[in-house]
Structure 1
Amino acid sequence: MTMAKPLVAETAVRAEDSDAVITVRGLHKVYGNSTVALDNIDLSFMRGHLTSLLGPSGCGKTTLLKIIAGLLKPTSGEVLVNGKPVRGPGPERAFVFQDFALMPWATVLRNAAFGLEVRGAPKAEREDRARHYINEVGLAGFEDKYPHELSGGMRQRVGLARALAVDADVLLMDEPFSAVDEQTRRKFQEDLIRLREVENKTFILVTHSIEEAVYLSDRIVLLSPRPGRVADIMEPDIDRNVDPDLIRREPAYLDLIDDIWRGLRHYVE
């Protein structure tokens, strides 16, 4: 079995690709007068695929994610979503934050429905959609609980339900599992594989975990140390339609983790 399909960035990410939901062209980001965070990033992201952004600390992963989200402006270059330039946040993109970002005074149901509430959706409609996704993320029966009554993993599930409920084309996830324990993290990963198949959305995940990137991703984008550039793009050759426990024992999974670590280890202080 082939361990992974390595891609050459210049030919693998064509802006004219008609299947791309997101296209990043010549993206450059400078903080202040001299700190170059991202340098000449060209990428495309396909519908129904999960792409992980991976690289050493400070390489610009979260900066790139926030530019795609419209939360930061690039110094030069552009991001297109469904062919339209990004000028700021938009309803076609939903962000899952690392720190949950829930309203402490609101119930699970209202937190999950909040994006729809902001958009002015009728109460019955937004609550129906919120209940559906609360169930999808495994929180049925907790609709009337408050964030302080939930574990960290459960609070993150509420954040995921809220992002799914607004029916955005793109889910942007900034290390969404970093604040939970290892057991919860593994269950989250398994659930995310299932949700990706069901929802057919474009998922972009920032992670520091090589294992997580290999386990979840259709494509892994490796960024170089600052200034962040596309160092490599890989497509893990892993069958995710089997028992989740078997994936972690696959030689292709284990070998790719080792290969990525060998490429990154000399950047780790």
Structure 2
Amino acid sequence: MTATAHHFFADPSPVTDCAVSVLNVGKIYAEAVTALENINVDFPRGQLTSLLGPSGCGKTTLLKIIAGLLPPSSGEVLVDDRPVAGPGPERAFVFQDFALLPWANVLRNVAFGLKMRGIARGEREEIARSYIAQVGLAGFEARYPHELSGGMRQRVGLARALAVNADVLLMDEPFSAVDEQTRRKFQEDLLTLIAREKKTFIFVTHSIEEAVYVSDRIVLLSPRPGRIAQIIEPAIERGGDPDAIRRHPVYLDTVDAIWQSLKTYLE
């Protein structure tokens, strides 16, 4: 882990292999509220990029536009150089509120996206069981959402997103509804998943500490209307003891530097 603190706010590296491009995107809601304005940002393939900023800055709006769940008022989003016109199989969304089917058990919830794609029952259940095991829920396949803790329900949501084998995973504050201990474990597990799956993750969070811990890149948005304020690449090498990251001066100084930047918006 390098200790080159002067790299915290250096110009970000150019994106040479881009999974998602956001080009001049703006969003105005019907009540004439401008949520986003002139957003231009690339998301590197195989990395995790966090969207971070003050409440109301448009983080979730931008994520839903990338997902194809909301249309932009201006500009466009490209995924693998193809314009986004709605949801697509190359993108999967992990919702903040889990969005599980209450009448379906864990196995059927995880296999749901595969069923919608017409995958035969035996194959989709085999795939679902594999991802259920990956997120630490082997043995809970027959349980229903109301029988699970919040952390377990979130693992089901993550397994469902992984099971459809999308190239881009969009995560809207996925760990905000769980306790701090569970949240830290999820963060560590997420780093393992990123290394194993080699997918592109776009991750909305309100937590500076979480963003610095899990991110290859952090896109810092200004207050509404949301604009790109900074793009930060934490100078942290992840690997080895995950707890060591949280104690390292680079991590601590990066968290403080981002807080000092965000604090100017609150004054």
**TM-score (norm: length of structure 1):** 0.95
* Correspondence for 2:113 among 112, 115, 123: 115
Percent identity between matched residues is 69
Partner of 1:2: 4
RMSD: 1.3
Q: Could you tell me which amino acid in structure 2 is paired with residue 119 of structure 1?
A: R
Partner of 1:43: 41
Partner of 1:230: 228
Partner of 2:205: 207
Q: How does 1:189-208 map to 2 (within 5 A)?
A: 189-208=187-206
Partner of 1:165: 163
Partner of 1:72: 70
TM-fit CA distance, 1:33: 5.5
Q: Which whole-Å CA distance do the structure 1 matches of 2:266 and 2:170 have between them?
A: 26
Contact 1:54/1:222 (CA < 8 Å) preserved in 2?
A: yes
Contact 2:19/2:45 (CA < 8 Å) preserved in 1?
A: yes
**Structure 1 alignment gaps of length 5 or more:** none
Q: Could you tell me which amino acid in structure 1 is paired with residue 131 of structure 2?
A: Y
Contact 1:7/1:232 (CA < 8 Å) preserved in 2?
A: no
Partner of 1:53: 51
TM-fit CA distance, 1:157: 0.1
Q: Could you tell me which amino acid in structure 2 is paired with residue 106 of structure 1?
A: A
Partner of 1:91: 89
Q: How does 1:108-147 map to 2 (within 5 A)?
A: 108-147=106-145
Q: Could you tell me which amino acid in structure 1 is paired with residue 251 of structure 2?
A: Y
Q: Which whole-Å CA distance do the structure 1 matches of 2:223 and 2:40 have between them?
A: 16
Q: Which whole-Å CA distance do the structure 1 matches of 2:55 and 2:46 have between them?
A: 28
Q: Which whole-Å CA distance do the structure 2 matches of 1:22 and 1:264 have between them?
A: 26
- The alignment partner of 2:19 has SS state of strand
- The alignment partner of 2:86 has SS state of coil
Partner of 1:103: 101
Contact 1:102/1:159 (CA < 8 Å) preserved in 2?
A: yes
Partner of 1:239: 237
1:35-75 Cα shifts (integer Å, max 9, x gaps): 11111111111111000000000101000000000000001
- Are positions 1:34 and 2:36 aligned together? no
Contact 1:237/1:252 (CA < 8 Å) preserved in 2?
A: yes
Q: Which whole-Å CA distance do the structure 2 matches of 1:82 and 1:265 have between them?
A: 36
Distance 1:79 1:57, change over 3 A: same
1:159-217 Cα shifts (integer Å, max 9, x gaps): 00000000000000000000000010000000000000000000000000000000000
1:13-46 Cα shifts (integer Å, max 9, x gaps): 66xx4x1010111111111253111111111111
* Correspondence for 1:262 among 248, 260, 263: 260
- The alignment partner of 2:188 has SS state of helix
TM-fit CA distance, 1:268: 3.6
Instruction: Point out 4+ residue stretches in structure 1 off by more than 3 angstroms.
Output: none
Contact 1:13/1:44 (CA < 8 Å) preserved in 2?
A: no
Q: Which whole-Å CA distance do the structure 2 matches of 1:63 and 1:162 have between them?
A: 22
Q: Which whole-Å CA distance do the structure 2 matches of 1:137 and 1:80 have between them?
A: 30
Q: Which whole-Å CA distance do the structure 1 matches of 2:203 and 2:131 have between them?
A: 20
Q: Which whole-Å CA distance do the structure 1 matches of 2:170 and 2:14 have between them?
A: 19
Contact 2:8/2:254 (CA < 8 Å) preserved in 1?
A: no
Q: Which whole-Å CA distance do the structure 1 matches of 2:87 and 2:9 have between them?
A: 32
